[in-house]
Every structure is written in structure tokens, then in C-alpha cells.
Amino acid sequence: MRTELFTREPDISKVRVTDNFWKQRMELVRTKVLPYEWDALNDRIEGAASSHAVANFELAAKLTVEHKVGTIKAGSVRTEQGQAVSSGEENGFEGFVFQDSDIAKWLETVAYTLMWKKDAELEKTADEVIDLVCAAQQEDGYLDTFYIINGLDKRFTNLQDNHELYCLGHLLEAAVAYTDATGKDKLLKALIRYVDYVDGIFGPEPGKKKGYPGHEEIELALVKLFRITGNKKYLKLAKFFIDQRGAEPNYFVEECRARNDGKPYTDDLSYYQAHKPVRKQEVAIGHAVRAAYLYTGMADVARLTKDDSLLETCERLWEDVTKKQMYITGSIGSSPVGEAFTFDYDLPGDSIYGETCAAIGLAFFAKRMLMIQPKGEYGDVLEKLLYNGIISGISLDGTRFFYVNPLEVYPKKNHMDARFRHVKTERQKWFGCACCPPNIARITASLGSFLSSYNDDSFYTHIPAGAETEAVISGNRVGIAVEGNYPWDGDITVRFEPEKNTEFTYGIRIPSWCDSFTAELNGVKIEPAVSDGYLKIKRVFKAGDELKLSLPMDVKIMEADCRVRSCFGRVSIMRGPVVYCLEEADNGPDLHRVRISENAEFSAKEEKDLNGITALYCMGFKELPGEGELYKPASARRFETIKLRFIPYYAWANRGEGEMTVWVNRY
């Protein structure tokens, strides 16, 4: 294969996140988000959208035990945004067809937290949930509450919309994580039975169905199953789903014809990335979460099967997503119609979709690309996502969530203009379609697996958040501890503790926002080589070696490429990896009237509000309204000077409803 630099992710149970910024969030997930989520999944939160996820499993388990499973016909209807929903509520199933996945993500998050903090009570609850999930399983291994309740005769007849393979993927991820965390394999064994059943139905062999999921997810999950079992058949199945996607005759068209239920088949296969085989896809298209999960699975399979053509496809799509269709916060998905990508440089900040799950999916993709080849650009995007477009999806107290992550809100418009109603101006208690909150919980809880990767002769730090990681390099156990106060401070110390002297290459990403930096090894200034965005040091490391890095965190006034129409003539502010915004709470209303000069001088101040942030201040100008006339000569405009306070974008909407903008007019 073209690259031989493969690395593997660290064993997450051997990573201790010590970082102030993240430890606080991880603890929040453990102590607040998980119990809150559990209440939501049990419909115990007053005023929150209904979930029914636990109740669906209870009903499915009851029917399984009583041998009364699915006798009534299942179907699906579509929401405005093209999403399939259940129409089987009269049978007792409630919610979206993929409601099971919320339970899976909760379990997966529990597993990660147990890796850093034992909690007998939480583990007991998780064990009980696993018992419940397993009780719903059919004798042949099948396990999806929607069809168990609504009609097993219809299972796998609507792969396009009904999410069975997506739910299986999430359950698999949970099972692998739970086994990693606790050593218990009840769920894993159950899921293996289900996957084996699926493997008997789908595949390239004659007589098997040539289908693939309408919502990708199982591909990346099968790779995790391959990792924990070592059984190549799971990798083969992941590859089959990827290779088969978009092949002619199109499976979704054929399955619709076979269903013969009077409903027309979809006229937009690109929504599912099924309009052509993946290797022929030139641009990122369709539903953004689906795309990001697909690309993640593709990168996994490319790495593990050494498939150059698949790798080239990943690189091409990566390029398109990150250079032409990504917001400055890392968010993706410009349109609420189909929750989807649109076209290059179309990045409106106010009518954006920017689903939290899509940002998380892109982080998964970035992590996989880093495992194929540690390159600065992958780490830069991962960092952008982690410090901006992902964590903006959760309130600082862990109990309110954004599904859509706008870069600009004017609440009056969002409430009154139907075109902007999908953009909420306040985080919500929960969602009927609740994919995002549990997703943000699981990525936060598994942060340790995103920070670094390594192989037999090298170790790379992708994100310099504080963490102690243990890896086996050249057969020796090597401890590597990163310390600092990222993302507020660019001074980073890396300590090396190999069990014995070990030769390897240590690489640490020099972020693209950093124009110059200094480095010292054991107190001596060094000028090490930077290649592919990483500072690399090859030597025999011994216990006590220490690398100090100083990345100056200047405030940067950024602009988008002039092909991005929506923010033409506007600037946004970054410091280090953090994107900033203006909020009405600090700067008054009518933020569209604010302008700043590209020579504005900023001061940075550590402040205690918003759970501790570095706020930025500068002088700006606010245009004054006229005397009543709607139009006037431009030369007649007048400004007042105003002191502006910028806060990190992720922290917006924690002080009540108000205007917010990331892009500010240029003076």
C-alpha cells in the first residue's frame, strides 16, 4: 500500500485523561449526562420529547418470552426532512425506527466511564439493560425492537429507511466497549449471534442478498468486532457493505420494487451515498451523518485491507469535505433538507444544519485518517471539531442539547421565519429524534482514544490535551504523559517513561494556526524537523526525558475563502484552536451592526464565568440607525465605538436566549 505509516489507536483503558478542560467534561458525562440520559430514555423528564426506547425493549422482550413476536405489518412514513419514522405505534412501538440505538449509545458511554471510574451501581444498571436487550433477542439471533414488535416477516425488506443495520452497528459498538471495560461478554456474544445471522443473509456469495444499510454505521462497528474477535469474516462483511454500496442494479430500487407496497422508490439515492459505487464518488453528498460514518468505515477497511483505491477515495472525499464543505467550527451539513451537504462553498451560518452527530462523524473519520497516516491536516480538523463544533452541542451543565449548531442566530427570525425554525436558539431538554445527546456523551467519554496513536516504532500525539498513555513500542512498555493547559495555553510538556531505554520516533502535531514555535528537549533548545505537520524526534528515549513545546496563542482574525458567499466581507476570531463568537448577553442586540477592523487589537483574559474561559476583548464599531428613512447614501453612515467581548463559540447559549454570531462584519 502507498503508506506504511499505519498506527493504531491507544488502548483507551490505558489512557488517563488528566486535562482540566476535558476531565471536567468527562466527569460531567459520568455524573450528570448519563443519569439524565437514562431518565430521558425512560421518559422521566418532564416537558422533554418522548423517547420510549426502554419501553420498546421491554415490550419486545415480553413478546419474545411469550412467543408472540411481530404479527402485525410494519411500514414506514417519512418526515419532512426525509427521515424514516415508525408507523407502528398502534402495536406499542413508539418513536423512530432507530430508537434502539439510543440505548446502545448510552451503554457504550457507560462502558467508557467504567474504564476510568468503577461504579458498581451504574454497572449493575447496565447489566440489567443488557439482560433486557438480550431478552428481546430471537432464537435465530435477530434483535431489533421495531420489527420484533411490528412484524418479523418484514425484517430486512426496507434497508433503505428502516435502520436495522444501523441499530445493529450501535449495539455492536456498545458490546465491544462493554467487554473492553468489564470483561463481561453477554452482550457481545448476543451481538455476535445477530451478526452471524446477518452474515448468513448478506454477502457476495450466490443466494445471499446484495444489500447494504440505508444509514451507514455497521461498517465501522464490524471493524471493532473484528478487532476484538480477530475474526476476519467481520472485516469481510464490512468490506462487502462498502463495495456493494451504489452498485447496479441499485439495491434500494430493487428492494422497493420487491416490497411492492405502492410507494415510489427514492428519487435521490445520493442522500444515502448510494447513487454510485463509493470509489466513483467525487464529492461528499447527501445526509451528512451517513456520509461521515461511511467514510469512517471506508478508512478503517482501507487501512486493514491495504486497499489503495479505497484510500484514494477517502482522501478525495476528505479533501472535498474539509476544504469546501466544512464550517470554521468543523460542522458539516449546510442544509436542513435531507440534513445534508449541498455544494462547494455553500456554508450559510444562519440556516445551517451542522448536526452534532455529523461533527462527531467527521471526528471519527479524522481519527481513522490519522491512523492511516499522521498528517497535520487530519489532526487540525479533529482539533477544530473537538474544541468547537462538537462540544457546542451540549450545555455547560450537561442537561441541554443542540442538534443543529448555527453560527449565527437572531431569535426573532428563528421563531418567526419557517425557513430558520430548525435552528433552535436555546439548547433543548431532549429530542424525539435523540441521536445527538448520547453521541456527544460517548465521544466525550472516549476522548482518550482520539488524542494519540502509535505503532511498533513511533508514537504520535495528535491533540496535546493532558493525558497519560501507556503503549507498547518495540516490545517495551512506554508511558507518555502530556501536560499543559490546552486549549487556553500553548505551553506543553511531554514526559517519557519507557520501562527501559527504547528507540522510537515521537511526533507531536504542530497546529496549522501556529506560525512559529519553540521546543526544548531535556532543557536544551532543539530545532527538530517538522514533516507532514508533525514535529518528529527519533532517538533512544529514556525514563525522565522531557520535551517542552511552546505554541504561541496569538489571536487570529480569520476570513473564509472569497468563494464562500455567506461570510464574504466578514471575519471571525480564533485563538489557538478555539473559535470565538459575540453574544448579545455581552454586546447588546443587533450584532449585525457590529464591525471590527482587521487590525483590531485584542486582549485575552482568563475569566471564571462559563465554567472558566479565556475571553477576548477588542474595540469595535457599531453602526447607528438612521432617522427613520429606510435607505440613505452609504457615506451618511455613523458609528459608535464599542468594547466587544468574544467568548468561545462552544460556550454560547448558556445565559438565556439572545443573538449570537461567529462572523462579524469587517470595518
Provide the annotated active-site residues. Answer: 339, 435
Q: What is the C-alpha R_g of the chain?
A: 25
Binding mask 350-369 for Zn ion (x = CB under 5 A): -----x-x------------
Shortest Cβ 294–Zn ion spacing (Å) = 15
Question: Residue with CB nearest ligand FUB?
Answer: 289
Site for ligand FUB in 278-307 (CB under 6 A): 289
Shortest Cβ 217–ligand FUB spacing (Å) = 8
Shortest Cβ 291–ligand FUB spacing (Å) = 10
Question: Residue with CB nearest Zn ion?
Answer: 357
Residue with cell 465501522: 220
Distances (CA, A) of 430 to 43, 351, 398, 401, 590: 10, 21, 12, 7, 29
Instruction: Give which of ligand FUB, Zn ion, none residue 98 binds (C-beta under 5 to 8 Å, depending on kind).
Output: ligand FUB
Instruction: Give which of ligand FUB, Zn ion, none residue 215 binds (C-beta under 5 to 8 Å, depending on kind).
Output: ligand FUB
Distances (CA, A) of 220 to 78, 270, 301, 389: 26, 20, 8, 22
- Interface with Zn ion (CB under 5 A), residue total 4
DSSP run (H or E) holding 255? helix 251-259
The residue type found at 185 is D
Q: Binding ligand FUB by CB under 6 A: which of 339, 380, 408, 545?
A: 339
Shortest Cβ 403–Zn ion spacing (Å) = 6
Tell me if 454 sits within 8 A of 9, measured CB to CB: no
Structure letter (DSSP) for residue 29: I
Strand segments, DSSP code E, in 256-317 are none
Instruction: Give which of Zn ion, ligand FUB, none residue 465 binds (C-beta under 5 to 8 Å, depending on kind).
Output: none
Residue 443 or residue 618: which is nearer to Zn ion going by CB? Answer: 443
Establish if 219 lies at the interface with ligand FUB (CB under 6 A): no
Establish if 98 lies at the interface with ligand FUB (CB under 6 A): yes
| Angle subtended at Cα 346 by Cα 344 and Cα 348, rounded to the nearest 5 degrees | 160
Shortest Cβ 75–ligand FUB spacing (Å) = 17
Instruction: Give which of Zn ion, ligand FUB, none residue 160 binds (C-beta under 5 to 8 Å, depending on kind).
Output: none
Shortest Cβ 244–Zn ion spacing (Å) = 25
Residue 191 or residue 435: which is nearer to Zn ion going by CB? Answer: 435
Q: Binding ligand FUB by CB under 6 A: which of 94, 123, 355, 584?
A: 355
Shortest Cβ 105–ligand FUB spacing (Å) = 11
Establish if 284 lies at the interface with Zn ion (CB under 5 A): no
Establish if 390 lies at the interface with Zn ion (CB under 5 A): no
3-state secondary structure of 637: coil
Instruction: Give which of Zn ion, ligand FUB, none residue 650 binds (C-beta under 5 to 8 Å, depending on kind).
Output: none
Residue with cell 485523561: 17
HEC per residue, 429-450: CCCCCCCHHHHHHHHHHCHHHC
Instruction: Give which of Zn ion, ligand FUB, none residue 433 binds (C-beta under 5 to 8 Å, depending on kind).
Output: ligand FUB
Establish if 435 lies at the interface with Zn ion (CB under 5 A): yes
C-alpha span between 160 and 449 (Å, rounded): 32
Establish if 433 lies at the interface with ligand FUB (CB under 6 A): yes
Residue 545 grid cell: 526525558
3-state secondary structure of 484: strand
Tell me if 107 sits within 8 A of 187, measured CB to CB: yes
Shortest Cβ 163–ligand FUB spacing (Å) = 6
Distances (CA, A) of 514 to 79, 323, 517, 553, 555: 45, 19, 7, 7, 10
Residue 64 or residue 356: which is nearer to Zn ion going by CB? Answer: 356
C-alpha span between 578 and 585 (Å, rounded): 20
Establish if 83 lies at the interface with ligand FUB (CB under 6 A): yes
Tell me if 101 sits within 8 A of 146, measured CB to CB: no
Residue 159 or residue 357: which is nearer to ligand FUB going by CB? Answer: 357
The residue type found at 351 is S
Shortest Cβ 101–ligand FUB spacing (Å) = 7
Interacting stretch for Zn ion, rule CB under 5 A, among 100-108, 243-251, 312-320, 432-440? Answer: 432-440
Establish if 99 lies at the interface with ligand FUB (CB under 6 A): no
Establish if 49 lies at the interface with ligand FUB (CB under 6 A): no
Interacting stretch for Zn ion, rule CB under 5 A, among 83-91, 263-271, 294-302, 434-442? Answer: 434-442
DSSP run (H or E) holding 180? helix 164-182
Contacts of 110 (CB under 8 A, 6+ apart): 34, 122, 123, 125, 126, 178
Site for ligand FUB in 556-575 (CB under 6 A): none
C-alpha 345: how far from its chain's center?
21
Establish if 567 lies at the interface with Zn ion (CB under 5 A): no
* Separation of first and last alpha carbons in the chain: 51
The residue type found at 396 is L
Other CB atoms closer than 10 Å to residue 554's CB: what's the count? Answer: 15
Residue 213 or residue 246: which is nearer to ligand FUB going by CB? Answer: 213
Q: Binding Zn ion by CB under 5 A: which of 60, 436, 480, 519?
A: 436
Q: Binding ligand FUB by CB under 6 A: which of 133, 190, 317, 357?
A: 357
132: exposed, middle or buried (C-beta count within 10 Å: 0-12, 13-18, 19+)?
middle
Binding mask 309-348 for Zn ion (x = CB under 5 A): ----------------------------------------
Other CB atoms closer than 10 Å to residue 642's CB: what's the count? Answer: 16
* Nearest one of 502, 496, 491, 500 to 481, comparing CA atoms: 496
Establish if 215 lies at the interface with ligand FUB (CB under 6 A): yes
Shortest Cβ 106–ligand FUB spacing (Å) = 15
C-alpha span between 316 and 303 (Å, rounded): 15
Rule CB under 5 A: which residues touch Zn ion? 355, 357, 435-436
Rule CB under 6 A: which residues touch ligand FUB? 83, 98, 215, 289, 339, 355, 357, 433, 435
